[in-house]
């Protein structure tokens, strides 16, 4: 209701002044708290739409959205498509395999072609960090980064913030522990930026080999090329979990073991698996999150994944509302 | 007409008269549901419900409708990014819905509101109550209950200020000279109306 919303900050009429000037959403590194709140508030309205008997509104009627995925995806691609359809937009899905990419067409030529056929919004996932930035420089369309290499996955960060806010309210001062393969995780990076902007206290926890160079204990052998905000770093999970409001578990990619970063899955699970005993160190009722897909029994125990504290499925369903919010703001914002 | 066109007392009397008219027209309050259009239609709808309570001793539920996802007229920059959830307290199937807004102007936001309402069900009827009708309709839409008809020029702004949203009750008509509408002035003058009113 209007009053509650007004109670949170400035009167509604003043809040409406907050600008939305973005054409693209490439990462959360340059998002202000106010901008993030615009997205999350808009997502509240979208969630209401999704709860209707016929979850469809005409806000993006006549707009065409293209998903261009150079990497595998289930939930991200599906939730962008559902989000676009709920807003009345048309959707074209393109996977790199099966498209002219296989004939050797360059990334820039591919996206220019998509623009020429009339797309207004481009959702791109690419294995190379920075690819969506290159694309954004060459097109008039709005570009949304749906994951680029290790670098960023901003809509995942936003849906995680949305999920946390819906349970905890104001995130200022909340202790959010991100456990797992931080070094290779675009989800971790986008969450670190977003959580920092929202004033949360971020703790990352991983074996030293799975921390970004800049965060490893001791002198850094190489400068971390992508600067991240300063966060608390723990290599001991029990210490990290102490007093946590949120425990965000990341997937351990098996290829990390092949690359010699870990001795064995069993050893990783013994030291870093979030199980019920360890979770007891967090605040009672602390939220358990995971961006999926999960390896149950490796980074998270099945009991924790299915516990009452787990909001993992909620993250997926919130993903649709948050992506609707981002699409709406970009499509209507110009 | 420029300046304060409705005082706090005028607004109170207008809302109370509209409340009586709604009761009269519907021969009571059976199946009546109030739906305020965000932002300022909502407090007006709540005041109408308060008046029903006072005059008839009946509780009428109040909903809040956001039409941001349905409108096609206002360029986004003037609408602002904020949209809020629509909250209808009851199923509107078979109900007599009284849609409430602060200012009726072109009729385009009412058109959007009708689309939005119909997405939620099939009311027995939809009636329209507005605090101010400033004329200049662009669609075949007419109000059933009007607080005050205020003839305005196209360039003027009508601002409805309410205690709940603005700290005081007042309706003001201001001249807006297009030559003075620098982008900044323009955005400020529009902020008052973002999301709800047609000025």
* pLDDT tens, residue by residue, B143-169: 999 999 999 998 899 999 999 999 999
Would the CB atoms of A59 and B80 count as touching at under 8 Å?
no
Residue scoring higher pLDDT (B78 or A320): A320
Rounded to the nearest 10 degrees, how much is the dihedral formed by the CA atoms of A43, A45, A50, A56?
-110
Write the residue in A16, A38, A48 that is nearest to B85 by C-beta.
A48
Looking at residues B21-47, what average pLDDT do you find?
96
Write the residue in A16, A54, A58 that is nearest to B82 by C-beta.
A16
Looking at residues A158-184, what average pLDDT do you find?
97
Query: Where residue A86 falls among pLDDT bands split at 50, 70, 90?
Result: very high
The pLDDT of residue B195 is 40
Beta carbons of A28 and A194 less than 8 angstroms apart: yes
Distances (CA, A) of B91 to A2, B33, B68, B98: 21, 10, 21, 14
Looking at residues A195-222, what average pLDDT do you find?
87
Nearest to A251 by CA among A197, A292, A307, A202: A292
Nearest to B156 by CA among B171, B176, B136: B176
Query: Where residue B184 falls among pLDDT bands split at 50, 70, 90?
Result: very low
The pLDDT of residue A17 is 52
Q: Judge if the upstream peptide bond of residue B39 is cis by omega within 30 degrees of 0.
A: yes
Would the CB atoms of B81 and A334 count as touching at under 8 Å?
no
The pLDDT of residue A88 is 95
The pLDDT of residue A226 is 53
Size of interface A-B (CB pairs under 8 A): 88
Query: Where residue B93 falls among pLDDT bands split at 50, 70, 90?
Result: very high
Distances (CA, A) of A257 to A191, A261, A269, A284: 24, 6, 13, 33
Would the CB atoms of B84 and A18 count as touching at under 8 Å?
no
A243-263, pLDDT tens digit by residue?
999 999 999 877 777 778 888
Residue A122, pLDDT > 80, answer yes
Residue A331, pLDDT > 90, answer no
Residue scoring higher pLDDT (A4 or A248): A248
The pLDDT of residue A58 is 93
Phi, psi of A258 (to 5 degrees): -60, -35
Residue A186, pLDDT > 70, answer yes
Is B187 within 8 Å of chain A by CB?
Answer: yes
Q: Above pLDDT 90, what percent of chain A?
A: 76
Give the closest-approach CA distance of B82 to chain A in angstroms.
6
Looking at residues A322-327, what average pLDDT do you find?
97
Looking at residues A2-23, what average pLDDT do you find?
51
The pLDDT of residue B86 is 94
Write the residue in A2, A16, A56 that is nearest to B64 by C-beta.
A2
**Rounded to an integer, what distance in angstroms lies between the CA atom of residue B78 and that of residue B186?**
9
Q: Above pLDDT 90, what percent of chain B?
A: 74
The pLDDT of residue B63 is 97
Which chain A residue's Cα is nearest to B112? A58
Q: How many CB atoms lie within 10 A of CB A104?
A: 7
The pLDDT of residue B75 is 53
Query: Where residue A271 falls among pLDDT bands split at 50, 70, 90?
Result: very high
Query: Where residue B14 falls among pLDDT bands split at 50, 70, 90?
Result: very high
The pLDDT of residue B177 is 56
Spell out which chain A residues touch chain B, with contact meaning CB-CB distance below 8 angstroms: 1-3, 5-6, 11-20, 38, 41-42, 44-45, 47-49, 52, 54, 56-59, 87, 328-329, 332-334
Would the CB atoms of B80 and A333 count as touching at under 8 Å?
no
Q: What share of chain A is helix, strand, coil (3-state, %, to 5)?
A: 45, 15, 40
Give the closest-approach CA distance of A20 to chain B in angstroms.
7
Looking at residues A33-54, what average pLDDT do you find?
94
The pLDDT of residue A315 is 96
Identify all chain B residues contacting A333, using CB atoms and an 8 Å cutoff: 76-77, 81
Task: Dig out the tokens for A258 from the structure.
Answer: 């092949």
**Rounded to an integer, what distance in angstroms lies between the CA atom of residue B164 and that of residue B35?**
17
Residue A14, pLDDT > 70, answer no
Looking at residues A320-328, what average pLDDT do you find?
97
Distances (CA, A) of B22 to A63, A144, B19, B33, B115: 41, 49, 5, 11, 23
Query: Where residue B79 falls among pLDDT bands split at 50, 70, 90?
Result: low
Phi, psi of A53 (to 5 degrees): -60, -45
The pLDDT of residue A333 is 64
Whether the ipTM is more than 0.85: the answer is: no
Would the CB atoms of B66 and A52 count as touching at under 8 Å?
no
Would the CB atoms of A333 and B84 count as touching at under 8 Å?
no
pTM for this entry? 0.87
Which chain B residue's Cα is nearest to A321? B85
Nearest to B39 by CA among B135, B159, B128: B159
Would the CB atoms of A12 and B82 count as touching at under 8 Å?
yes
Write the residue in A1, A38, A329 that is nearest to B87 by C-beta.
A1
Would the CB atoms of A2 and B165 count as touching at under 8 Å?
yes
Residue A108, pLDDT > 50, answer yes
End-to-end CA distance of chain B: 15
Residue A39, pLDDT > 90, answer yes
Write the residue in A17, A20, A45 that is nearest to B85 by C-beta.
A45
Give the least confident one: A311-315, B6-10, B79-83, B166-170: B79-83
Is B122 within 8 Å of chain A by CB?
Answer: no
Looking at residues A25-45, what average pLDDT do you find?
95
Give the least confident one: A44-48, A91-95, A149-153, B75-79: B75-79
The pLDDT of residue A99 is 77
Which chain B residue's Cα is nearest to A38? B82
């Amino acid at each position: 209701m209007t009053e509650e919303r007004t109670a949170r900050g400035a009167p509604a009429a003043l809040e409406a002044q907050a600008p939305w000037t973005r054409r693209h959403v490439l990462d959360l590194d340059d998002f202000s708290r106010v901008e993030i709140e615009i997205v999350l508030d808009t997502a509240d309205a979208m969630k209401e739409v999704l709860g209707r008997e016929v979850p469809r509104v005409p806000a993006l009627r006549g707009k065409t959205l293209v998903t261009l995925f150079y990497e595998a995806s289930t939930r991200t691609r599906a939730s962008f498509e559902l989000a676009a359809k709920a807003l009345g937009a048309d959707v074209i899905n393109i996977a790199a395999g099966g498209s002219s990419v296989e004939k050797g067409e360059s990334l820039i030529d591919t996206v220019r072609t998509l623009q020429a056929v009339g797309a207004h919004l481009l959702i791109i996932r690419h294995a190379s960090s920075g690819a969506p930035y290159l694309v954004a420089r060459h097109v008039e369309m709005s570009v949304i980064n749906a994951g680029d290499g290790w670098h960023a996955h901003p809509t995942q960060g936003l849906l995680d913030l949305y999920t946390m806010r819906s349970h905890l309210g104001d995130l200022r001062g909340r202790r959010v522990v991100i456990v797992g393969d931080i070094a290779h995780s675009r989800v971790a990076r986008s969450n670190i930026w977003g959580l920092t902007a929202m004033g949360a206290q971020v703790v990352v926890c991983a074996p030293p080999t799975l921390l970004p160079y800049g965060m490893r204990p001791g002198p850094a052998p190489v400068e971390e090329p992508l600067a991240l905000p300063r966060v608390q770093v723990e290599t001991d999970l029990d210490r990290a979990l102490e007093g946590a409001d949120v425990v965000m578990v990341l997937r351990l990619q098996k290829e990390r073991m092949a690359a010699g970063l870990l001795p064995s899955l069993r050893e990783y699970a013994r030291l870093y698996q979030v199980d019920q005993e360890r979770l007891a160190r967090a605040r009672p009722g602390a939220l358990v999150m995971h961006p999926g897909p999960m390896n149950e029994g490796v980074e998270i125990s099945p009991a924790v994944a299915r516990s009452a504290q787990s909001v993992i499925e909620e993250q997926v369903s919130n993903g649709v509302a948050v992506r609707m919010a981002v699409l709406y703001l970009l499509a209507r914002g110009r | 007409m420029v300046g304060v066109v409705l005082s706090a007392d005028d607004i109170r009397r207008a809302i109370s008269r509209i409340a009586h008219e709604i009761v009269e027209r519907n021969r009571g309050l059976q199946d009546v549901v109030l739906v305020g259009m965000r932002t300022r239609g909502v407090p007006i709808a709540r005041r109408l419900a308060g008046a029903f309570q006072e005059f008839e001793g009946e509780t009428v539920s109040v909903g809040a409708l956001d039409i941001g996802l349905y409108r096609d007229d206002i360029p986004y920059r003037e609408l602002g990014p904020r949209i809020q959830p629509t909250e209808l307290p009851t199923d509107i199937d078979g109900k007599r819905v009284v849609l409430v807004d602060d200012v009726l102007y072109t009729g385009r936001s009412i058109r959007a509101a009708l689309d939005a309402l119909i997405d939620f069900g099939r009311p027995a009827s939809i009636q329209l109550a507005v605090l101010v009708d400033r004329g200049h309709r662009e669609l075949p839409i007419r109000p059933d209950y009007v607080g005050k008809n205020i003839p305005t020029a196209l360039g003027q702004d009508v601002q409805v200020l309410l205690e709940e949203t603005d700290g005081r009750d007042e309706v003001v008509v201001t001249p807006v000279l297009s030559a003075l509408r620098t982008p900044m002035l323009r955005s400020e003058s529009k902020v008052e109306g973002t999301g709800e009113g047609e000025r």
